[in-house]
Structure 1
């Protein structure tokens, strides 16, 4: 019965996004909610200016509706569901404000970094406080070993680092058509398996709802994209990914399953550090996907390669958590 519920969840969230998109995309276009492209970005991306953004609203709506309906039918609205929806909606709201300022002001910068961080910090603190009321386990487990380390009060800053870091990492990765939608589908699919193996069925159901929603979005976001998810989608997905890792007690596994997002973030850190200390760039452009673009790879080749790398990371993560 539960397996059928997961299948129905996948189908429902996929169909909601696919049905909504043809209605929502023209609406965004009429509102002139078009993407502003960075002047310092690849020249080939200039033609994407004006492509409707804030498509993450469709993803979030599909996730919330599907999760609430299917959790109510096949299980129950648990505290885990409340927590993952809190993070998804909270980070999605931050992303929406960021996107709205961009399109309203016709610039490629929305909220300041301080404003965004403050919002992320507040949501992370609420998330932690609710966890605390439910009997917080401050132990982290080393993947593949079963060995755990109780970090005590340090778990609070870890929660903040995970939620803020993951949301920003997914946001940085969202630079090519279909890149985040595909890699997110793989990562959330892996965590759906991990959650199911840990008997956290509502978390597994939520993860599957996200897989269906982003795959439905990918139908319209694959190259050439008809819509972008914007920060509305990428911040929400990144926050949700970290929340699932925390709830499944696989905090360190997030580094492996979300390996593509980690690499993209590291490429930016390395590029900035190298330029500030040595005056030289390591990559032609960061994040890393732009480096390969400027090296002559087609956008589609970069995206598919990153998808495959994401599948490899996910397989390693599932192996370490489920089969060892």
Structure 2
């Protein structure tokens, strides 16, 4: 009971207090996000959310973990990426340099923490896919992919942070289901820290003018922590005497984050464009062009991600095979790709539906 209330409550308070203390420092130091052609928010907003979450996580893990063990590597990677993101937010950073920092954090995870993929599970209904010598390269790729996926999601107030909160909530639940108490406690620490930031990021009556953004410091380190626990909880070597979560379930837990990344990368590759270049082709951008309010879009995407996680978890708990879960996930991804490739048609139809609904509502 202590874990489920006091741990997240403490890290929530630390995160919220850190935001309040860092906001004026950000204004003085120029750690601000200014609107431009791609960023259409109003006014300059302090980019302190990621730093506040990092502080809360580091403090919470020091207080609530009896021993850090290999989580020292997790905290080291989190700190490195938070600092790199802070520098990028302040001065800008060459994409190659940022990629190098992500790979360095991934190497900390695989070489220092000894956390890496050994198996992808039985995705095709024949036998377990063991990675052998491909385990570490696949893990490095996964780390970079998820980090950038989280970074790409940071486009609307509360979206990246809300997705992270939902994902860490599911990961904490899964850690409890397989008896991995330390992992569950760290995930709960992250939940409280992210929630403390969200009260200043999601629109709510208490935020007032205290709005802050996550910044690259937050999206980079949250992506890293998410992929760490996705790997740890799905590999037998970390819990040899108990059950593990099938790796395919992690695809459902990450849900919108992974699906949107896959679809955007495929679409850019088909058009021979840089798959990591910033643009306005993500799911939330398409929904914005429909004329739907930002708050509704955020709540809709968060609800969808929570539902996808529920499908994956309940599928596992009810004995649905990994092969079926994998095929279902591919089906959802393919459907999303089909919709996004014809986004202009759906936008036109959606605008007509919304216009008609508005007329009915006003009549």
TM-score range (shorter-chain normalised) is 0.7 to 0.9
- 1:188-227 mapped onto 2 (5 Å cutoff): 188-223=168-203, 226-227=211-212
Q: Residue in 1 aligned with 2:17?
A: 19
Secondary structure, counterpart of 2:280 in structure 1 = coil
State whether residues 73 and 108 of structure 2, in contact with CA within 8 Å, keep that contact through their aligned partners in structure 1: no
Which sections of structure 1, spanning at least 5 residues, go unmatched? 102-109, 278-283
Per-residue Cα deviation, 1:277-314 (whole angstroms, up to 9, x for no partner): 8xxxxxx9312211111221111111010110111122
Q: Residue in 2 aligned with 1:77?
A: 68
- 1:87-166 mapped onto 2 (5 Å cutoff): 87-101=77-91, 110-132=92-114, 138-142=118-122, 148-166=128-146
Query: Once structures 1 and 2 are overlaid, which stretch shifts more, 244-253 or 186-195?
Result: 244-253
State whether residues 175 and 181 of structure 2, in contact with CA within 8 Å, keep that contact through their aligned partners in structure 1: yes
State whether residues 47 and 215 of structure 2, in contact with CA within 8 Å, keep that contact through their aligned partners in structure 1: yes
- 1:42-53 mapped onto 2 (5 Å cutoff): 45-48=40-43, 50-53=44-47
Alignment match of 1:309 (pick from 297, 304, 312): 304
Higher RCO, 1 vs 2 (CA within 8 Å, ≥6 residues apart): 1
Secondary structure, counterpart of 2:129 in structure 1 = strand
Alignment match of 1:184 (pick from 153, 156, 164): 164
Task: Label 1:83 to 1:321 Cα distance change in 2 as closer, same or farther (>3 A).
Answer: farther
State whether residues 257 and 310 of structure 1, in contact with CA within 8 Å, keep that contact through their aligned partners in structure 2: yes
Q: Residue in 1 aligned with 2:330?
A: none
Taking the aligned partners of 1:209 and 1:315, their CA distance within structure 2 comes to 21
Per-residue Cα deviation, 1:33-76 (whole angstroms, up to 9, x for no partner): 2103342x26xx1524x11113210001001111220113xxx3
Per-residue Cα deviation, 1:241-298 (whole angstroms, up to 9, x for no partner): 0001111125443321111111321343244235448xxxxxx931221111122111
State whether residues 258 and 314 of structure 1, in contact with CA within 8 Å, keep that contact through their aligned partners in structure 2: yes
Task: Label 1:6 to 1:297 Cα distance change in 2 as closer, same or farther (>3 A).
Answer: same
State whether residues 143 and 321 of structure 1, in contact with CA within 8 Å, keep that contact through their aligned partners in structure 2: no
Compare CA radii of gyration and give the structure with the larger one: 2
Taking the aligned partners of 2:216 and 2:193, their CA distance within structure 1 comes to 16
Which sections of structure 2, spanning at least 5 residues, go unmatched? 205-209, 235-244, 274-278, 320-363
Q: Residue in 2 aligned with 1:107?
A: none
How many residues of Structure 1 are paired with residues of Structure 2 in the alignment?
Answer: 298
Taking the aligned partners of 1:143 and 1:4, their CA distance within structure 2 comes to 37
Taking the aligned partners of 2:228 and 2:175, their CA distance within structure 1 comes to 12
Alignment match of 2:54 (pick from 60, 84, 89): 60
Task: Label 1:146 to 1:87 Cα distance change in 2 as closer, same or farther (>3 A).
Answer: farther
State whether residues 264 and 288 of structure 1, in contact with CA within 8 Å, keep that contact through their aligned partners in structure 2: yes
The TM-score normalised by the length of structure 1 is: 0.84
State whether residues 197 and 322 of structure 1, in contact with CA within 8 Å, keep that contact through their aligned partners in structure 2: no
Secondary structure, counterpart of 2:58 in structure 1 = helix
